[in-house]
Amino acid sequence: MKKSYIIFLIFTVTLSLALADEVGNRTAESIAEEIISSLSQAKFEDWSAAFISTDDKIRGGVLPATLFIPVAATDEHLGDRNVAAYHVVPEKMEFADLLAKEDKTRIITLLAGCSILVGNTTEGGLTLDGVSVTEPDVFVDEFIAIHRIRLPLDFNRYGRMVDFNKPKPKKEVISRLEIEIFAVVIASSLAGIVHCLVSSRR
Ligand SMILES: *[C@@H]1O[C@H](CO)[C@@H](O)[C@H](O)[C@H]1NC(C)=O
Ligand SMILES: *[C@@H]1O[C@H](CO)[C@@H](O)[C@H](O)[C@H]1NC(C)=O
């Protein structure tokens, strides 16, 4: 366990160095960090505005991303970075993209190593960790998409299994930003193995 942790650390540091190149004047990592911190300080009803203003080109770089906003009126998540991070997918996914997912597909989130389980069955319709989408495509632009969902997503219950084997659809041209985002996703997945293992033992 100890040895693998050290290997993991070396890997993360190497990746971070590789990520030092900037997107605009912000790195994909720093954008992700700003999104998480901005959402964790806002009520769900203010998430849309917080997200749109944080993940904005004008601020020096944008991360293609999708936000799921629970309609539930609760403030319990305030200050909880994990809840915020688990509701953001570092890839723009319109509702049509979600519908194109097969049942039991997992989509990676900004919460280290925790992914959302997509359900897509004729009986159940489209669900995310069993939660239905109440308002799809509330906001969509070139880089981001926002959907409203019935309840907050529960990473303690559903987030754990990361599917490393599922290849991403290949594109002809992969931009620098995409490479960077992919690296962030891999780095956070690795961090998450530790994170989710540790938290599941508590
Ligand atoms: C990044 O650039 C934007 C303008 O494009 C500017 O408003 C912002 O302050 C810059 N951020 C940093 C950290 O230099
Ligand atoms: C997901 O569900 C939608 C709506 O029922 C359906 O059109 C679509 O084909 C499904 N996707 C897959 C991959 O089965």
Distance between CA 15 and CA 23 in Å, rounded?
16
Distance between CA 125 and CA 163 in Å, rounded?
22
Instruction: Tell me the CATH number of domain 2-201, given options 1.10.357.10, 2.30.180.10, 3.90.76.10, 1.20.1250.20.
Output: 2.30.180.10
Ligand nearest to the CA of 97: 2
CA of 128 to the centre of ligand 2 (A): 14
Extents of the domains making up the chain: 2-201
Residue whose CA is closest, atom 13 of ligand 2? 102
Q: Per-residue pLDDT tens, the chain, 202 aa: give them.
A: 555 554 444 444 444 444 444 456 789 999 999 999 999 999 999 999 999 999 998 888 899 999 999 998 777 889 999 999 999 999 999 999 999 999 999 999 999 989 999 999 999 899 999 999 999 999 999 999 999 999 999 998 888 865 444 555 555 555 666 667 667 666 766 666 556 545 555 4
Kindly report, residue by residue over 28-73, the tens digit of the pLDDT: 999 999 999 999 999 999 999 999 999 998 888 899 999 999 998 7
Say which residues have a Cβ less than 8 Å from residue 5's Cβ, sequence separation at least 6: 194
Tell me which H or E stretch contains 142: none
The answer to whether 112 touches 14, Cβ cutoff 8 Å, is no
Ligand nearest to the CA of 22: 1
Residue 25 Cβ contacting ligand 1 at under 6 Å: yes
DSSP 105: E
- Which atom of ligand 2 is least distant from the CA of 99? 1
- Number of residues that make up the chain: 202
Residue whose CA is closest, atom 10 of ligand 1? 60
CA of 62 to the centre of ligand 2 (A): 30
